[in-house]
Structure formats: structure tokens, C-alpha cells
Amino acid sequence: KAGVTQTPRYLIKTRGQQVTLSCSPISGHRSVSWYQQTPGQGLQFLFEYFSETQRNKGNFPGRFSGRQFSNSRSEMNVSTLELGDSALYLCASSQGSSGSGGTDTQYFGPGTRLTVL
């Protein structure tokens, strides 16, 4: 079974631009979560999508948005980039059944390294 894929792997943008990152989950997985990692910080939760609906959201400004398509692929968009948005962005997929009681294992992609100049 193919793993979680993310594109692009590396990206360089300038302040004020916008960026779209893509995540393809493991086949059959319906939940996709996005995380940001900056130096010295743990993984910060951005949002989770399940069946094309945002199911949960972290404490990030509205410049960060996402969506999920009917095939479970997800995109994350950051508008008006700031220097502080430079980070590794990871997505993780899981089966996402709410009945799992939180025991759903998340499988992570390789990440997209975003640098904002």
C-alpha cells in the first residue's frame, strides 16, 4: 500500500505571496490532518478534514486554510505569507472513524519544507 505523499517537498516563497500544499492520503483513509513544525517547537496542529469537512481546527490565523476533495486528497493554503510561516508542514492520514475513540493511528507524509524570504 502506498504511503502518504506530499507535494511539493520543498518550496521557497517571498513575503506576501500565497502557497498551496498538497497531501494524498493512504488509500482508504478518510481523515487528513495538517501540522506545522518550526525549530524548537513540537508539531502544532493546524486542522483535520474528514469526508470533505473540516472536523477540527488548531489556533492558527485565518490565513491558513484547507480543503479536502471527494477522493480524500487534501490541500492546505497559506495566504499573505510571513517570515514566521517558514516551517516543515506535515500531513497525516488515518481511517478517521469517530468510533475509534481516539486510537486511530496517524500515518505521516514526508512533509513540505516551506521557506519564506
Partner 1 sequence: ILNVEQSPQSLHVQEGDSTNFTCSFPSSNFYALHWYRWETAKSPEALFVMTLNGDEKKKGRISATLNTKEGYSYLYIKGSQPEDSATYLCAPRGADTGGFKTIFGAGTRLFVKA
Which residues contact partner 1 (rule: CB under 8 A)?
3-4, 33, 35, 40-45, 48, 50, 55-56, 58, 90, 92, 98, 101-111
The minimum distance between CB 15 and partner 1, in angstroms, equals: 27
The minimum distance between CB 31 and partner 1, in angstroms, equals: 8
User: Which residue's C-alpha cell is 510561516?
Assistant: 85
DSSP label of 84: G
Is residue 95 exposed (0-12), middle (13-18) or buried (19+ Cβ within 10 Å)?
A: middle
Closer to partner 1 by CB, 39 or 84: give it.
Answer: 39
The minimum distance between CB 37 and partner 1, in angstroms, equals: 9
Closer to partner 1 by CB, 81 or 112: give it.
Answer: 112
- What residues does 66 pair with on adjacent strands? 76
Q: Which DSSP string corresponds to 50-76?
A: ETTEEEEE-S--TTEEEEE-TTS-EEE
Closer to partner 1 by CB, 75 or 104: give it.
Answer: 104
